[in-house]
Structure 1
């Protein structure tokens, strides 16, 4: 199919390489990364942007920036329960929890607008040692410099409100225990917000109560570092993939392994799973489907975007690629799936059930894609009004944040098609009768 540039394009640039991306609300996106512990002058941390659509394209405005000292933010996850947003970020061998509190302030009188989230949300966390509390207090003092940005009233284009966003570090806990170089590679929070799963270089999958961060299960099965994981839409299953080339489906309640994911690899080739994401099947919620990126260890062989039946452990459909795939996202309504490539920086969006490609963005980034996230349709708060059916945000180590969108496809409802067919048949019958045929 011909290439099409997205309606949005470049949203923003930051001054550090980007490794992780997370939608906090229906219109707030968090990006994280950094230059690492070496003294390169490149900061470590994350920034939060608010997204709008001006009628022509998507635009982004920075809401806040938080630096994390020598620790680069390589992965993160979040949960919004309608009252507050909690972010967990991988910083070296530890997982750091942040409470994100938002206040909407009327510019006219300075009062907090009705419905604003102002709670600190720190109840239930374990007590920390005095040294930890002192460090946290010093961090809180630093974070009192709050960034305030204007927001657009959902009912008009007049800016008469401000969004005050406060980030407060809470608990921190070690989640990886590798003897060589402990590092948390991935963290995910279940859709219900009840559990958090982490994986790292020691190859152990750990399940935690969330947000209290007390350990529930240690799930042993992988022999090498964890690359990715994802909770099923109902939160009952957890899919994990690792550098040992294996993929597992785990039972969250018991911590037991349900199934190993295996497929018929072409003879003489070796494949490694790279990313995995569950898909919500709206038409049949009893079915559990899973998208997986499979890359060949040889550049001569194709890579694949695969749609799996997670319960049966079989591949239902696949789309081949001539280069290595690096990033994956599935829309929260289960209708679309997006992939990013390693070398060309391309972004593609497919219809989820058929794997028909509907958008191809060549060279969306100058380097490999490190993260993709669809703009949500189900999170609390006013959704972004736009002329697009779906939009995906992409990041890369080229420091750029981009958005790629699909315009609404103008199709006739099914019942109208049926009526037109019936009328056509009836018209043909009348004409034939009139002509005596």
Structure 2
């Protein structure tokens, strides 16, 4: 299914996008990025997008823009109505609330009352702007209120960059990893530091947490480590059954836990391995599926020669999403690691994050008659939607009936053509 085609833009922001998440209850898309501290005029913000079905098609519109001043949000994690946003060397804990029409009306009344307390000259100019708003100019009353709960330092390196963040499954802890190689665990929502230890010699690329309180981290030091608290349980070796691949030829890029469909207590871990050195003829990247309880490798498959930049797993555990540094997006079946969907260069540059539609009722309604839906964002400022139609399946009894009819027809034709044969 690897054909190259023009892929429509779902939403375009006025700044590079680095992270995307979906609120399962409200059906909101939360995406963020920016130009950082450089004085280029490119803003830094978190955008809240409203999803709607219009004429049978999904549409996204900007609901609210939250200015993050000189800090670009490079990664995010979502727990209910709380966002953990990685900005420079800090993690900002934000709570958001979607305002009702009554709350917005109260805010407008309060703003009008404050305006009326000014001098007569200011009151006159304010009255003009209010009248103009009634006649059709943009209503500046925010649709979403944002409250900063905490700010904690999550990286102490000279580069000052948090590279990964995630909540544990029951959202009682927050995990962060940075350029300094330290894995830090915070109590949530109080944000008291519980653990702070050196996990990798170099940058942490990704982290994941399992329901059994185990943590997995991958770093640029070629290691993928399984932790219980700050104790190293084991290092994973994806190529131990592939002796033709040397240890230092590939490094880990991403890790994610995922459910096993139809198996309540089962769990899988997925890792992505990318070439350490770029060559004229690039070797393939690899996708590995592990037993998430015993951490034994189950399946390893090549996933193309484009270098993988990010990984996502659907809530149901059936699908994996991959983004590449050349802008391509692919969806794989988690059971067999076979590619189901692929768009070459869906973005003009590196894909920075992916998010599957959650399995909530609200998101299933928005998803419509599609088996899964995936959002991708990239440095090209675009957010794109990838839909996989429901695959048509037939019941077993119907297939058996069709086989029986086919056999009868073949026998009948043979008897008519060669009457002495039977």
Q: Would you say the 8 A contact 1:64–1:146 is kept in 2?
A: no
Counterpart for residue 13 of structure 1 = 12
Question: CA distance change for structure 1 residues 64 and 287 in 2, over 3 Å: closer, same or farther?
Answer: same
Choose which of 237, 256, 262 in structure 2 pairs with 1:283.
Answer: 262
Q: For 1:50 and 1:217, how far apart are their aligned partners in 2?
A: 37
Q: C-alpha displacement at 1:38, in angstroms? A: 1.4
Per the TM alignment, residue 378 of structure 1 is displaced from its structure 2 partner at its CA by 3.1
Larger Rg: 2
| 1:256/1:55 CA distance change after superposition, 3 Å | farther
Residue of structure 2 in register with 1:94 after alignment: 90
Structure 2, unaligned runs of 5 or more = 107-138
User: In 2 relative to 1, CA 380–59 (structure 1 residues): closer, same or farther, beyond 3 Å?
Assistant: closer
The offset of 1:336, in angstroms, is 0.8
Aligned mate of 2:148, from 169, 176, 179: 169
**TM-score, normalised with respect to structure 2:** 0.81
1:285: how far off? 3.5
Check conservation: 1:336, 1:351, Cα contact below 8 A: yes
Q: Kindly indicate whether the alpha-carbon contact (under 8 Å) linking 1:309 and 1:316 is maintained by their aligned counterparts in 2.
A: no
2:122 paired residue number: none
Matched, 1:309 2:291: yes
C-alpha distance in 2, partners of 1:194/1:418?
51
1:22 aligns to 2:21 (yes or no): yes
Q: Deviations over 1:216-242 (max 9, x none)?
A: 22243311111111222x252222111
Cα 1:421–1:222 change in 2 (3 A) is same
Q: 2:386 maps to which residue?
A: 404
In structure 2, the residue matched to 1:257 is 232
**Contact 1:146-1:166 at 8 Å conserved across structures:** no
Aligned: 1:203 with 2:181: yes
Answer yes or no: is the 8 Å Cα contact 2:236–2:295 preserved in 1: no
Q: Unaligned 5+ residue runs, structure 1? A: 112-143, 149-164
Alignment partner, residue 65 of structure 2: 65
Query: Are the aligned partners of 1:263 and 1:315 in contact in 2 as well (CA < 8 Å)?
Result: no
> Structure 1 pair 57/3, CA: closer, same or farther in 2 (3 Å)?
farther
- Residue 287 (structure 1) shift: 3.1
Contact 2:2–2:343 (8 Å) recurs in 1: no
CA distance in 2: counterparts of 1:428 and 1:145, whole angstroms: 73
Asked whether 1:147 is paired with 2:142, we answer: yes
Equivalent residue for 1:364, pick from 339, 343, 346 = 346
Distance 2:403 2:96 in 1: 55
* 1:237 paired residue number: 214
| Aligned counterpart, 2:376 | 394
Provide the secondary structure at the position in 1 that maps to 2:337.
coil
Compare 308-317 and 333-342 and name the one that shifted more: 308-317
SS in structure 2 of the partner of residue 384 of structure 1: helix
Q: Hey, what does 2:111 align to over in structure 1?
A: none
Question: What is the SS of the residue equivalent to 1:147?
Answer: coil
Q: Within 1, Cα distance between the matches of 2:150 and 2:140? A: 21
Q: Distance in 1 between matches of 2:173 and 2:396?
A: 41
Q: 1:403, CA displacement in angstroms?
A: 0.5
More displaced, 305-314 or 63-72?
A: 305-314
Task: Find the residue that maps to 1:286 and give its secondary structure.
Answer: strand
Moved more, 420-429 or 309-318: 420-429
Tell whether 2:167 aligns with 1:192: no
Higher helix share: 2
Aligned-residue Cα RMSD (Å) equals 3.0
- Aligned partner of residue 260 in structure 2, secondary structure: coil
What's the CA shift for 1:431?
11
Distance 1:432 1:230, change over 3 A: same
Structure 2 Cα separation of the partners of residues 106 and 408 of structure 1: 40
- 1:286 deviates by 3.5
What is the distance in 1 between the residues matched to 2:269 and 2:398?
Answer: 34
Instruction: State the SS of the aligned residue for 1:222.
Output: coil
Which residue does the alignment assign to 1:181? 159
